Structure 1
Amino acid sequence: MTTLFRAEHLRTATPALVDPFGRRIDYLRLSVTDRCDLRCVYCMAERQTFLPKSEVLSIEELARLSRAFIGLGTRRLRLTGGEPLVRKGFMDLVCELSRHLADGSLQDLTLTTNGTQLAAHAEALAWLGVRRVNVSLDTLDPDAYRRITRGGDLARVFDGLAAARAAGLAVKINTVALKSDNAHELQDMVAWAHGLGMEITLIETMPLGEIEADRTDQFLSLEQVREAMGRRWILKPLMKRTGGPARYVRVEETGGTLGFITPLSHGFCEACNRVRVTCKGELFLCLGQEDRADLRPLLRDHPHDDAPLIDGIREAIGRKPKGHDFRVARNGDGSTVMRPMSMTGG
C-alpha cells in the first residue's frame, strides 16, 4: 500500500478526533528526540539523563504514527525535541511528511528549534515544503546566552536565522520571560525581531521537570510585561490564531506581531486543539497533566496493522482533560509535572 493511498484511505474511512468537550483535535506536536545540544537552565538539568535508543521511536515509526494522526484529521504537525535537528535521519522524516503537504492531507508542517543547526538545513527544509520555523531564543547578549544555555554560542543562532530568512522561511522567535535573566531586554528583543521582519512570542516559564533553579525566582508574569510595553507602544489586539495557545497583538510603532503565552497568569485551555507525542511514543493529552497513552506497543506489536494504533489514539482523546493544573509554588520547585520539557516536546 503506498503512503498516498494509505493516508487517503485513513482520511476517508475514519471520522475526525473530537474530545469530550467538543474540541476538534487537529494539531499534533511530535517530539523526535529528547536530546539537545544546549542545556537551558529552565528546561533541563545540567547533567540530564537521556533515553536509550531502544526506547525511542525510529524514523519509520515516527512517520507511521504521523500518517495515522493525519488520517484522523490532523492538519497541523509541529516537529519538536529536545532539538529536532540533532536527530539522525530527521530530514528523511521531513521528506516523508512533505508528501502529505503535496497531496493536501496536511496543511502545515513546521518545527521548533534552538537555531544552532538551522544554517545547515534551512534551504532543504524550505525545499521540502516547510514554510515557517519557531526559533527559541531568550537573549541577544552573548554572555547571557552562554549562561542561560550553559555554553551555547549565540553567533550560530544568528547564522541560522540569516539562513532561514534567505531560504524564504518565515521565522517566529519564542522567548521565555525570566525575571532575573532577560526581563530588562524583552522590549529590545521585540524591537529587534520586528526590525528583521520576524514575529516574536513571549512565554511564561512553565513548571515542567526537575531543574536546579527555583521556579519562584524565574517566574515573570506577562501581564506585567504587557502593561509595561503598553506604556511604550500601542498594542492592538488581533484575532490571529495559529493553532497554538498564544494571544497576539500588533505593535503599531513597529508594525510587527507580538504573542503572549500565559499558562500561569492566564489560562489558554478553552480552545485547545492539540496533543503531544513524545519521542518514545507516549501520547500526552495535556502539557500540564500526567495522563498519557503508550502508543509504542501498538506500533511495534502490530507492524502491519494500523487499526490498534487508531483505536488507541481514539480512546486516549476520549480522556482529554478540560485544562492544565500549572502552578508555581513558594516552597521550591513547585512543578506539577515531573517530566522535563525536552521529553514532552515544545
Structure 2
Amino acid sequence: MVNLDDKYNRSFKTLRVSLLSTCNLGCIYCTMGSEDEIAHDHRPQTPAANFVKIIAGLHGQLNLKTIRLTGGEPLLYRELETVIKGITALGIADVRMTSNGFLLERMAPKLKAAGLRSVNVSLDAMDAETFFAVTRRKQLQRTLAGIEAAIACGLEVKINSVIMQGQNDKQILPLLNYAFKQNVPIRFLEVMAMGHLFGNSEKHLFTQHQILDVIASRYNFVRLARKTSATANYWQTEQGGIFGIIGNESEPFCQDCNRLRLDAEGNIYGCLSNNNPIPLNGNENNIELTGKLQQAMQQKQNLHFVGSALSMMHIGG
C-alpha cells in the first residue's frame, strides 16, 4: 500500500468511476440544458477492460474498499455488467452505483446478479411538473419504477435529492414521505458550485438548516452519530425513518474525505474542487503510480469544498 503524506491522515479507500460523460436527463444543477450537452456522445465508450486495468493498479496500491460507478448516467454504459464483474473479480465486493434511475427498472436484476450491491437514485421531485422543471424530462414514473424495481430485487437503495432555492424546495416533505413509504434512506443535497454554477450557486442554495426547519414542521427527529468519511449527516424520526443531508456548504466533510475519482478518459482527481486531471493508462509502475496518487492527494481541500468549473456530467456526483 502507498503511504500518502497528508496532515489530516486522509487516505483513498473509495474510488468513484465516471464511466462516460453522457446523460439522458438535463438536470439544471448539472447542465445549462442545451441539447448538445445532454445528447448522446458519439465518441467510443472506454472499454470495460481499460477501466478494470486501471482500477486493478489503484487497488494494488490503495487496497480499495468501495467502488462507486457514476457518469454522466452509468446505465448508458454498454459494458456495465462486464465492468461490475471485472471489479468484483479483483476482490472488491462493495460495488455501488449512482444513477438517475430512468433505465433501472429493466436493468436492476441483472446488475444485482453481476455483483452490484447498492444504488443511489437521483429523485428531485414527487410532482411531475417540478420534476420536469428540474430534469427537463418527463416520465417521473420511470424513475419511481426504477427505485421500486431495485428495492424488489434486493439492492440496497438510497434516494438523492438536490434541493434548490425556489425550484424544488417545496418538494422536501413529499420526497421524504415517499422514501419513508419505501423504507429507504433519503439524502438531501445542498447544490454544489460545479460547472455552470461555479461562482453562481449562492442564489440557488437551500441550506441544511433550512431543510431541517422544513422537516421539523412535520416530524420530530434526533441526530445520529456521523460515520468516518461520510458525506452526509443523518437524523432519525420518532417513527424510525432515516434521512440525511449532504451539506457541503453548511457542514463541510473535507477533513476525512477518502474519495478518489477516475473519469472516462483515464484521469484521476483527488477532489471535485480541482479540475486539473492526472492521467493514468494502467501501465504505470509502482513508483509512477505512487507519484500520481501523491499529486491527487495534494488536490484535496483542507477544510471546505470550493467548487470547480468542471462539469458534474464529466466527473460524477
TM-score, with structure 1 as normaliser: 0.83
Kindly indicate whether residue 13 of structure 2 is the aligned counterpart of residue 26 of structure 1: yes
Alpha-carbon contact 1:201-1:246 (below 8 Å) kept? yes
Match of 1:257 in 2: 242
SS in 2 for 1:164: helix
Per the TM alignment, residue 165 of structure 1 is displaced from its structure 2 partner at its CA by 1.2
Alpha-carbon contact 2:266-2:279 (below 8 Å) kept? yes
Alpha-carbon contact 1:287-1:324 (below 8 Å) kept? no
Match of 1:86 in 2: 76
The one of 148, 154, 177 equivalent to 1:191 is 177
Which amino acid is 2:53 matched to? R
**Cα distance change of structure 1 residues 235 and 63 upon mapping to structure 2, 3 Å threshold:** same
Per the TM alignment, residue 93 of structure 1 is displaced from its structure 2 partner at its CA by 0.6
SS in 2 for 1:210: helix
Match of 1:60 in 2: 49
SS in 2 for 1:203: strand
Alpha-carbon contact 1:19-1:317 (below 8 Å) kept? no
Alpha-carbon contact 1:19-1:25 (below 8 Å) kept? no
Per the TM alignment, residue 289 of structure 1 is displaced from its structure 2 partner at its CA by 2.6
Per the TM alignment, residue 196 of structure 1 is displaced from its structure 2 partner at its CA by 0.9
Alpha-carbon contact 1:131-1:169 (below 8 Å) kept? yes
TM-score, with structure 2 as normaliser: 0.90
Match of 1:70 in 2: 59
Q: Distance in 2 between matches of 1:211 and 1:319?
A: 24
Ranges in structure 1 where 5+ consecutive residues have no aligned partner: 1-13, 328-335
Which amino acid is 1:311 matched to? T
**Cα distance change of structure 1 residues 53 and 269 upon mapping to structure 2, 3 Å threshold:** same
The one of 165, 168, 187 equivalent to 1:182 is 168
Kindly indicate whether residue 101 of structure 2 is the aligned counterpart of residue 133 of structure 1: no
SS in 2 for 1:97: helix
**Cα distance change of structure 1 residues 19 and 29 upon mapping to structure 2, 3 Å threshold:** farther
Q: Deviations over 1:212-232 (max 9, x none)?
A: 996343211121211332343
Q: Distance in 1 between matches of 2:47 and 2:175?
A: 37
Per the TM alignment, residue 338 of structure 1 is displaced from its structure 2 partner at its CA by 0.9
Tell me the matched-pair count. 313
Q: Distance in 1 between matches of 2:236 and 2:126?
A: 22
Per the TM alignment, residue 307 of structure 1 is displaced from its structure 2 partner at its CA by 3.7
Q: Distance in 2 between matches of 1:248 and 1:150?
A: 30
Alpha-carbon contact 2:230-2:253 (below 8 Å) kept? no
Match of 2:85 in 1: 95
Alpha-carbon contact 2:252-2:304 (below 8 Å) kept? no
Q: Deviations over 1:23-57 (max 9, x none)?
A: 12211111001100001111112224486636x64
Equivalent runs, 1:193-272 vs 2, <5 Å: 193-210=179-196, 215-239=201-225, 241=227, 243-253=229-239, 255-272=240-257
Match of 2:268 in 1: 283
SS in 2 for 1:109: strand
Alpha-carbon contact 2:21-2:41 (below 8 Å) kept? yes
Kindly indicate whether residue 308 of structure 2 is the aligned counterpart of residue 337 of structure 1: yes
RMSD of equivalent CA atoms = 2.5
**Cα distance change of structure 1 residues 239 and 115 upon mapping to structure 2, 3 Å threshold:** same
SS in 1 for 2:234: strand
SS in 2 for 1:53: coil
Which amino acid is 1:342 matched to? M
**Cα distance change of structure 1 residues 147 and 213 upon mapping to structure 2, 3 Å threshold:** farther
Ranges in structure 2 where 5+ consecutive residues have no aligned partner: none
